Structure 1
Amino acid sequence: MLPQRVARLRRLALIGLAGGLAVAMSACASERGSGGGANDTFVFGAAGAPKNFDPIFNDDGESFRPARQMFDTLVTYKPGTTELEGGLATAWTPSSDGKSWTFTLRQGVKFHDGTPFNAAAVCFNFDRWYNMKGAAAQSQMIYYGDVFEGFAKNEGDASGQPVYKSCEAKDDHTAVINLNKAKGAFPDAFGLTSLSISSPDALKKYNADNVTQSGESFAYPAYATDHPTGTGPFKFDSFDKTNNTITLVRNDDYWGPKAKVAKLIFKIIPDENARKQELAAGTIDGYDFPSPADYSSLESSGNKVLIRPAFNILYLGINQKNNPKLADVRVRQAIEYAINKEQLAKNKLPAGAYPQDQFLPNNVPGYTQAVEKHAYDVAKAKQLLADAGATGTTLNFYVPTEVTRPYMPNPVDIGAAVADDLKAAGFTVNVVQEPWNGGYKDDVQKAGKQDIHLLGWTGDYADAGNFIGTFFGRQKAEFGFNNPQIFDALSNADKQVDPGAKAKAYEQASVLISQYVPAVPLTSSPPAIVVKKNVNGLVASPLTDERFYTVSKG
Structure 2
Amino acid sequence: MLHKRVASLRRIALIGLAGALAVSMSACASQRGSGQGGGDTLVFGAAGAPKNFDPIFNDDGESFRPIRQMYETLIQYKPGTAELEPALATSWTPSADAKTWTFTIRQGVKFHDGTPLDAAAVCFNFDRWYNMKGAAAQSQMIYYGDVFEGFAKNEGDTNGSPLYKSCEAKDDHTAVLNLNKAKGALPDAFGLTSLSISSPAALKQYNADTVTQSGDSFSYSAYATDHPTGTGPYKFGGYDKSNNTITLVRNEDYWGTKAKTAKLIFKIIGDENARKQELAAGTIDGYDFPSPADYNSLKSAGDQVLIRPAFNILYLGINQKNNPKLTDVRVRQAIEYAINKSQLVKNKLPEGAYPQDQFLPKNVPGHTDAVAKFDYDPNKAKQLLADAGASDLSLNFYVPTEVTRPYMPNPVDLAAAITDDLKAVGIKVNVVQEPWNGGYKDDVQKTGKQDLHLLGWTGDYADAGNFIGTFFGRPKGEFGFNDPQIFTALSTADAQTTADAKKSAYEAASVLISQYVPAVPLASPPPAIVVGKNVHGLVPSPLTDERFNTVSKG
Tell me how far apart the structure 2 counterparts of residues 229 and 37 of structure 1 sit (CA, whole Å): 25
Can you list the C-alpha shifts for 1:483-540, whole angstroms capped at 9, x where unaligned? 1100000010011111001000000000000011111111001111110000000000
- Matching residue's letter, 2:337: Y
- 1:233 corresponds in structure 2 to 233
- 1:30 corresponds in structure 2 to none
Tell me how far apart the structure 1 counterparts of residues 136 and 101 of structure 2 sit (CA, whole Å): 26
Tell me how far apart the structure 1 counterparts of residues 135 and 235 of structure 2 sit (CA, whole Å): 27
Checking the alignment, whether the CA contact within 8 Å between 2:314 and 2:523 is kept in structure 1 is yes
- 1:70 corresponds in structure 2 to 70
**What's the offset of the Cα at 1:272?**
1.3
SS at 2:108's partner residue?
coil
- 2:26 corresponds in structure 1 to none
Checking the alignment, whether the CA contact within 8 Å between 1:135 and 1:211 is kept in structure 2 is no
- Matching residue's letter, 1:232: G
Checking the alignment, whether the CA contact within 8 Å between 2:125 and 2:200 is kept in structure 1 is yes
Give 1:297-446 correspondences, 5 Å limit: 297-446=297-446
Checking the alignment, whether the CA contact within 8 Å between 2:135 and 2:156 is kept in structure 1 is no
Can you list the C-alpha shifts for 1:310-346, whole angstroms capped at 9, x where unaligned? 1000111111112222111111111111111111111
- 2:284 corresponds in structure 1 to 284
- 2:453 corresponds in structure 1 to 453
User: Aligned in 2, Cα 1:37/1:53: closer, same or farther, shift over 3 Å?
Assistant: closer
Checking the alignment, whether the CA contact within 8 Å between 2:404 and 2:411 is kept in structure 1 is yes
Checking the alignment, whether the CA contact within 8 Å between 1:48 and 1:403 is kept in structure 2 is no
**What's the offset of the Cα at 1:37?**
5.8
- 1:23 corresponds in structure 2 to none
Tell me how far apart the structure 2 counterparts of residues 411 and 480 of structure 1 sit (CA, whole Å): 22
**What's the offset of the Cα at 1:151?**
1.1
TM-score by length of 2: 0.92
Can you list the C-alpha shifts for 1:277-328, whole angstroms capped at 9, x where unaligned? 1100001000111111111111111111111001000111111112222111
Q: Quick check: 1:123 aligned with 2:85? A: no
Can you list the C-alpha shifts for 1:123-142, whole angstroms capped at 9, x where unaligned? 11111111123234443322
TM-score by length of 1: 0.92
- Matching residue's letter, 1:123: C
**What's the offset of the Cα at 1:425?**
1.6
Tell me how far apart the structure 2 counterparts of residues 382 and 261 of structure 1 sit (CA, whole Å): 59
SS at 1:549's partner residue?
coil
SS at 2:549's partner residue?
helix
- 1:80 corresponds in structure 2 to 80
- 2:530 corresponds in structure 1 to 530
- 1:210 corresponds in structure 2 to 210
Tell me how far apart the structure 2 counterparts of residues 320 and 154 of structure 1 sit (CA, whole Å): 28
Tell me how far apart the structure 1 counterparts of residues 502 and 279 of structure 2 sit (CA, whole Å): 45
5+ residue gaps, structure 1: 1-35
5+ residue gaps, structure 2: 1-35
Give 1:178-257 correspondences, 5 Å limit: 178-257=178-257
SS at 1:189's partner residue?
helix
Checking the alignment, whether the CA contact within 8 Å between 1:334 and 1:382 is kept in structure 2 is yes
How many equivalent residue pairs? Answer: 519
**Relative to structure 2, which stretch is displaced further, 60-69 or 505-514?**
60-69
SS at 2:44's partner residue?
strand
**Relative to structure 2, which stretch is displaced further, 279-288 or 213-222?**
213-222
**What's the offset of the Cα at 1:418?**
1.2
- The root-mean-square deviation of aligned C-alpha atoms, in Å, is 1.2
Checking the alignment, whether the CA contact within 8 Å between 1:135 and 1:213 is kept in structure 2 is no
Q: Quick check: 1:169 aligned with 2:180? A: no
Tell me how far apart the structure 1 counterparts of residues 369 and 228 of structure 2 sit (CA, whole Å): 45
Can you list the C-alpha shifts for 1:177-210, whole angstroms capped at 9, x where unaligned? 1111111111110000010111111111111111
- 2:139 corresponds in structure 1 to 139
Tell me how far apart the structure 1 counterparts of residues 237 and 448 of structure 2 sit (CA, whole Å): 38
Q: Quick check: 1:481 aligned with 2:481? A: yes
Tell me how far apart the structure 1 counterparts of residues 246 and 413 of structure 2 sit (CA, whole Å): 30
Can you list the C-alpha shifts for 1:192-230, whole angstroms capped at 9, x where unaligned? 001011111111111111111122322212111111111
- Matching residue's letter, 1:97: D
- 2:511 corresponds in structure 1 to 511
- Matching residue's letter, 1:403: V
- Matching residue's letter, 1:413: D
Tell me how far apart the structure 1 counterparts of residues 138 and 130 of structure 2 sit (CA, whole Å): 13
- Matching residue's letter, 1:126: F
Tell me how far apart the structure 2 counterparts of residues 128 and 51 of structure 1 sit (CA, whole Å): 20
Q: Quick check: 1:151 aligned with 2:164? A: no
Which 4+ stretches in 1 moved above 4 angstroms?
none
Checking the alignment, whether the CA contact within 8 Å between 1:136 and 1:209 is kept in structure 2 is no
Percent identity of paired positions between Structure 1 and Structure 2: 83
Tell me how far apart the structure 1 counterparts of residues 417 and 243 of structure 2 sit (CA, whole Å): 35
Tell me how far apart the structure 2 counterparts of residues 319 and 156 of structure 1 sit (CA, whole Å): 24
Can you list the C-alpha shifts for 1:447-504, whole angstroms capped at 9, x where unaligned? 2221111111111111111110111111111111111100000010011111001000
User: Of the two, which has the highest radius of gyration?
Assistant: 1
Tell me how far apart the structure 2 counterparts of residues 512 and 388 of structure 1 sit (CA, whole Å): 21
**What's the offset of the Cα at 1:382?**
1.3
